[in-house]
Amino acid sequence: MNDRIYGFTDADHFLSNFHVEADGLTAEHRFQSAKTFSPAWIRRVLSAPTPAKAKYHGRSLPLRPDWEEAKVGVMRHIVATKFTDADLADRLLATGHAELIEANTWGDRTWGVDANTGEGRNLLGRILMETRTALRA
């Protein structure tokens, strides 16, 4: 067992917010749609054909006033909900005690870390590890 998973690709892609879930959506769709209270924008984001397109829409929509305060809690809820799927929960538990690091090359140092420098807050990785701990309880 690896002591860390650095980047959510290949066999570890299920950890990514771009992993397509049973209902055809992704955590990325859900997260981006939660940024706004506008029903039209929510529909636009949730109907995006790919998680990348959902993320693109998320950069243009009108943000809900409390977004900065709410976003980490929203992500916790989305990730916890994602792993209510038994197969995904088993796969997350199978990561053992590995440190989960959302390493990326697109500069997201809030939810992940820079893949080259390792700099960043890795909030998504931390939330995944919290979720794994909760699943063990």
pLDDT tens digits for the chain (137 residues)?
A: 579 999 999 999 999 999 999 999 999 999 999 999 999 999 999 999 999 999 999 999 999 999 999 999 999 999 999 999 999 999 999 999 999 999 999 999 999 999 999 999 999 999 999 999 999 99
Q: Where are the alpha helices (DSSP H) in 16-85?
A: 27-33, 39-46, 51-58, 67-82
Rg (CA), the chain: 15
Q: Can you give the CATH number for the domain in which 113 is found? A: 1.10.357.40
- pTM value is 0.95
- Rounded to 5°, the CA angle 88-127-111 comes to 110
Q: Is the dihedral of CA 7, 10, 15, 17 positive or negative?
A: positive
Contact (CB, 8 A) for 41 and 61:
yes
| Domain, as residue range, for 60 | 4-136
